[in-house]
A and B are shown apart, each in its own frame.
Chain A
């Protein structure tokens, strides 16, 4: 399989079998956006997803992971001090600021709006790794994962089927 994998390289092995060829141009059958979408300005998110949808073949797969905005919000409203993980989850780090944020529902909707059929959308724990000055830090955090599949819908076939019924 040929796959385009952008962002956090450590997430590649979670989603792709051994032997996957990682490429940086079309054609590819799968795309991984690992902690990428939140770094785009709001009005670029749908445009980027639409481009990927158009480039994927029928049956092609898009896997997206983004920091959980709900988890950061829960932390902020329940704790006296805003944790590093919450600030980073919402606003990113130096050189990689976040310009968009996603709830699980919103992420799902973003994929569906460009045409993907969302086959999985869930939230999971992950270890957020970043550097503060020269220090490498690891904080427990939560991220959303959504998997969309490109399925061309043949409108005429649907109508034929309905008429047969």
Chain B
């Protein structure tokens, strides 16, 4: 069996296979991945601006919707509507994985007096180009609320380490990984 997955905001380096291996290892080697991005330079399979509604023909078509380090680049005022469009691509019984920098971690570091570049980058992005600005931040509770708004069941919500690369050095930071499942209409998984 082949599972269909979509990487939303794939960028130039996708980690979708590593995430599938970590969260749904039984799918290893059986996943067909479609890449979607708003930047034509990276030649995605689907060129799409996330501020627009998702194309109708994609809705409910994917066993997995994956989006890593994308939602923080969308204004916090539009987070729910953009995430809902993403979630509309998931088949009933399918999965969704969202990874975002942990603003909660950055807040804790700042309150400990560690207001270093890694913390600043978690709040506001690397700022090397127009896209690399953060317009929103997330905490565990805010992601739980988001999952609720999307009507998805949270299977796990965990923190993991991530390396942020600046021009001159690397910084340790933390991200949230939200793993969800879209329940079937009768409420079963």
- Segment 103-157 of B: residues with Cβ below 8 Å from A: 103-104, 106-108, 110-111, 115, 120, 123-124, 127, 133-137, 139, 141-142, 145
A101 contacts B120, C-beta separation under 8 Å: yes
Is there a chain B Cβ closer than 8 Å to A50's Cβ? no
Asked if A76 lies at the interface with its beta carbon under 8 angstroms from chain B, I say yes
Q: Is A126 an interface residue (CB 8 A)?
A: no
B141: contacting residue among A41, A74, A80, A93, CB under 8 A = A80
Q: Give the residues in chain B near A80, CB-CB below 8 Å.
A: 141
CB within 8 A of B76: which of A81, A87, A100, A101? A87
Q: Which listed residue (B103, B110, B123, B124) contacts A70, Cβ 8 A?
A: B110
A108-123 contacts to B (CB < 8 Å): none
CB distance from B164 to the nearest CB of A (A): 14
**Closest Cβ neighbor of A38 among chain B residues:** B124
B-contact 0/1 string along A96-111, CB 8 Å cutoff: 0111110101100000
Q: Which of A41, A42, A72, A91 contacts B135 (CB 8 A)?
A: A91
Q: Which residue of A lies closest to B126 (CB)?
A: A42
Q: How long is the Cα–Cα vector from A41 to B135 in the complex, in angstroms?
A: 12
Contact call B145/A81, Cβ cutoff below 8 A: yes
- Known A87-B76, A99-B124; contact A73-B137, beta-carbon cutoff 8 A: no
Q: B77 at the A/B interface (Cβ < 8 Å)?
A: yes
Q: State whether A41 touches B127 (Cβ < 8 A).
A: yes
Kindly supply a per-residue 1/0 record for chain A positions 57-76, scoring 1 wherever the CB is within 8 Å of any chain B CB and 0 otherwise.
Answer: 00000000000011011101
A residues within 8 A CB of B107?
A: 72-74, 76-77
Query: Do the beta carbons of A94 and B77 come within 8 Å of each other?
Result: yes
Q: Is B75 an interface residue (CB 8 A)?
A: yes
For A82, give the chain B residue with the smallest CB separation: B142
From B77, B104, B124, give the contact of A76 (CB < 8 A).
B104
Q: Verify B110–A103 contact, CB threshold 8 A.
A: yes
B110 touches A99 (CB 8 A): no
Q: What residues on B are CB-neighbors of A97 within 8 Å? A: 75, 133, 135
Choice from A42, A77, A98 contacting B104 with Cβ under 8 Å: A77
A42 contact set on B, CB distance < 8 A: 120, 124, 127
Q: Which of B123, B127, B141, B142 meets A101, CB within 8 Å? A: B123
- Min C-beta distance of A64 to chain B, whole Å: 17
The interface of chain A, by Cβ under 8 A from chain B, is 41-43, 69-70, 72-74, 76-77, 79-82, 87, 90-91, 93-94, 97-101, 103, 105-106
Interface residues of B (CB under 8 A from A): 75-77, 103-104, 106-108, 110-111, 115, 120, 123-124, 127, 133-137, 139, 141-142, 145
The 7 closest A-B pairs by CB, nearest first: A73-B107, A80-B141, A76-B107, A87-B76, A77-B107, A73-B110, A82-B142
Given A79-B141, A105-B115, 8 more A-B residue pairs with CB atoms under 8 Å apart are A41-B127, A41-B133, A76-B107, A77-B111, A81-B142, A90-B137, A94-B77, A101-B120
